[in-house]
Structure 1
Amino acid sequence: MLLAMYSIFVFIFIGYMANVLRLVGNKHSGILLGFLVNFALPAQIFNGTYHANVSLDFLLVCLISLLSNLFAGLFILFIGRIFRFERSVLITLCFMAMLGNTLYLGFPFVQGALGEAQANQVIIFDQFVTGIPFAFLAPVLLSLNGKTAFSFSGVLKRLFKSPLFLALICGALFRLIPFEIPQALFAPLKSLAQTATPVALFAIGVQLNLRGILEWKYPTLLLGAKMFIAPLLLFFFVKAFFGEFSNTWKMALIEVAMPPLVSGVAIIYKAGFNAKVALNAVTFGILVSFISIPLWLYFV
C-alpha cells in the first residue's frame, strides 16, 4: 500500500511540476487525454472486464456503493437547504458528491492495497458506479442551466459513443465466447493498459491548483460527505449484514472513499455552475486521500 501511495504521489507531483515549469501546454495535455480516453483506458477496461470475476454478489457491492454515493449528494442537498446555499454552489456540491475518482485514482490505490484481482474488478465497478451515472447526470446538469435539453436518447447516444463504455461491452461479449482466448494475445493490450495509470495520474497533476486549498469551507463540506459520510454508510452496512470485510467490500470502501471525479469539473464549468468550488474540492480531496484511505483500511 505504501509503495502504491508513493508511486501515485510521484506521478501526480511530476505532472504538477511539469505544469508549473510550463513543460506541458494545453496542446500536450489534449494529446495525453486523447490517448488516455481513447486508447489506454479502453485497453485497461477491456482487459479488466474479460478477466474479472463478476457475480450477483459483486453487483450488490456496486449497488450499495452507488446508493452510498447518492446519499452523500442528498446529505449535501439537505444541509444546503437548511443554510440556504446559493443555487450554483448547491448544485455543484451535490453533483460532485455523487461521483468519485474511482478509475484514475481508485485503481492504483486498490491495486496497491489488494492486488491485481481486485484491481480488475475496479474496471467494472467504475462503469456501474461512476461511468454510467456520470453519463446520465451530466446531461441533467447541463439542462438545469439551459445548455441542452435532457433526453434518454441523448444519454444512450453518449454512452455508445464512449470508448470506455464500448470497451466494457466488448469485454463482456468476449466472455461469452465458448473457449478461452490465449493469454499471449493479450500481451499488446496489457502493455497499452499499463500506461493508463501513470498517464492518468500525470494528467491529474497537470490540472492541480494548490492555491484553491485556501478556500476550504465548501470543499470541506463536499469532501466530508463524499469521503466520510458515504464510506461510513457502506461501512455500517457491511458490518451489519456481513460482519467482516471481504476483499471485494474493501475494494468498494476504497472506491466510495475516493475524492470527487476530475471530469466532473469540466461538466460543472460547461454548465456554468461554480467550477472554482469543484476544482478546489478535487485538489484538496487528492491530498486528503493519502491520509483517509489508509485510515479506512486500518478500521477494516
Structure 2
Amino acid sequence: MDSIIMLFLCLILGFGLQYVKTFPKNAHLTLNQFVIYISLPALALFYIPKIKLNAQLLYPLGIAWLGFLFSFIFFYLIGRRLKWSNKLIGCLTLTAGLGNTSFVGFPVIQALYGEEGLKTAIVVDQPGSFVVMATLGVITATIYSKGKTEAKTIASKILLFPPFLGFVAACMLSIFKLDFISDVQTVFQKLGSTVTPIALLSVGLQLKIDKHSQHWQFLRFGLFFKLILTPAFFYIFYKLILHGKGLVVDVSIMEAAMAPMITGTILSASYGLKPKLSNMMVGVGIPLSFITLAFWYFILNTF
C-alpha cells in the first residue's frame, strides 16, 4: 500500500512544483537524465544476476516482447491509415507498448498474489520490459524521432544507452553465476529505488491538464490499447489458445494490464516524441489502471 501512496504523492508533488516560481523550469530534463544514467543501470545490476530462467518463464517474458511487437504493428498500421505524424506513432508505440510492470506492477502483484507472484513479476519486468525498453524501445525512438534507420545510428544509440550497458554487465554476472558483495548490492538497490519517485516527479512537472487539448483523442486511443486491448490479446492467446493455467499465467496477464511504463514515457519525451501526450499517458493512465486492473482480476478469477 505504501508504494501506491508514493506513486500518487510524487505525481501530485511534481504537478504542484510547476507553480513554484523558484523551482527550475527545466528540472525535468535533469531528473530524466538521472533516471537514465544512474537509477536504471543500478536496477539492472541489482536484479538481473539473481534471475534464474526456465521454460515456464516464457509466459512472463512474452508479455513484454510480444506486447511491444503488437503495439508496433498496431500503431504503425493505424497511424499510416489515419495519416498520423511519425512522432505521434512513435509516442503511442512506446507508451502503449511498454507496461509499468515494476513500480505499479510489483506492489499490485505482491498484494494480490504474494511473494510467489512477485517472482514472476520480476521476470516480466527485468529480462522483459526493461530489456525491451533498452533495445526495441531505443530503436523505435530513434526511427520515429528523426526518420533515420541506418544500422550505425541505431546500434550506437543502443550500445551507448546506459541502462543497456548495465543490462549487459548484469547478464555477464548472471552467466558466470557471480554477484556483487552484499554492501554493493544494497547500494545498487537503493539507487534503483530512486526510479519511481524521481521519474514520477519528472512526469508531474510536465503534466498539463488542458481540457481543450488535441491530445485527448489520442490519449483515449492509447490507453484503450494499453489497458484493454493488450491484456485481452494475452488472455485469448495464453488462456484460450495455449490453454495456459496457474499462477504464472495469471500474473503475466495482470502485468500486461498495467499502466504505461514511466521510464518508457521518459524515453519518448527525451526523443521529442510528443512529450505532453507521453506524460498524459502516465498521469492519466496510472489512476485509471486501478479500475481496469480490478476488471481483469475479476475476469481471471471468474472464467
Specify if TM > 0.5. yes
Say yes or no: does 1:111 pair with 2:112.
Answer: no
Matched residue, 2:149: 150
- Give the Cα–Cα distance (whole angstroms) in 1 for the partners of residues 145 and 98 of structure 2: 23
TM-score, length of structure 1 as denominator length: 0.80
8 Å contact kept, 2:62–2:128: no
Corresponding residue number in structure 1 for 2:114: none
Percent of aligned pairs sharing the same letter: 17
- Mapped pair 1:85 → 2:82: yes
Partner in structure 1 of residue 208 of structure 2: 209
Structure 2 counterpart SS, 1:108: coil
CA RMSD of aligned residues (A): 3.1
Hey, what's the Cα distance between the residues in 2 that align with 1:267 and 1:178?
35
> Is residue 213–residue 280 contact of structure 1 (8 Å, CA) maintained in 2?
no
Is the alpha carbon distance of 1:101 and 1:258 closer, same or farther for their aligned partners in structure 2, counting shifts above 3 Å?
Answer: farther
Output aligned runs, 1:114-263, within 5 Å.
Answer: 114-115=109-110, 117-118=119-120, 120-121=122-123, 122-144=125-147, 149-178=148-177, 181-211=180-210, 215=214, 216-240=216-240, 241-247=242-248, 250-251=251-252, 253-255=254-256, 257-259=258-260, 261-263=264-266
Distance 1:109 1:9, change over 3 A: same
Unaligned runs of 5+ in 1: none
For structure 2, the 5+ residue unaligned runs are: 111-117
Write the letter of the residue equivalent to 1:151. E
- Do 1:62 and 1:129's aligned partners in 2 also have CA atoms closer than 8 Å? no
Contact 2:159 2:165 in 1 (8 A): yes
Shift of 1:152: 1.6
- Number of matched pairs: 288
Q: Who is 1:70 aligned against?
A: 69
| Residue 298 in structure 1 maps to residue 298 in structure 2 | yes
Of 229-238 and 190-199, the range deviating more from structure 2: 190-199
Note closer, same or farther for the CA distance 1:278–1:7 as it changes in structure 2 (3 Å cut): closer
* Residues 15, 206 of structure 2: 8 Å contact kept: yes
Q: Tell me the distance in 2 between the aligned counterparts of 1:65 and 1:179.
A: 26
Deviation at 1:171, TM superposition (A): 0.7
Amino acid at match of 1:86: K
Instruction: Encode CA deviations 1:112-161: one digit per residue, 9 max, x unaligned.
Output: 023453454312212333321112112221343xxxx3212221211111
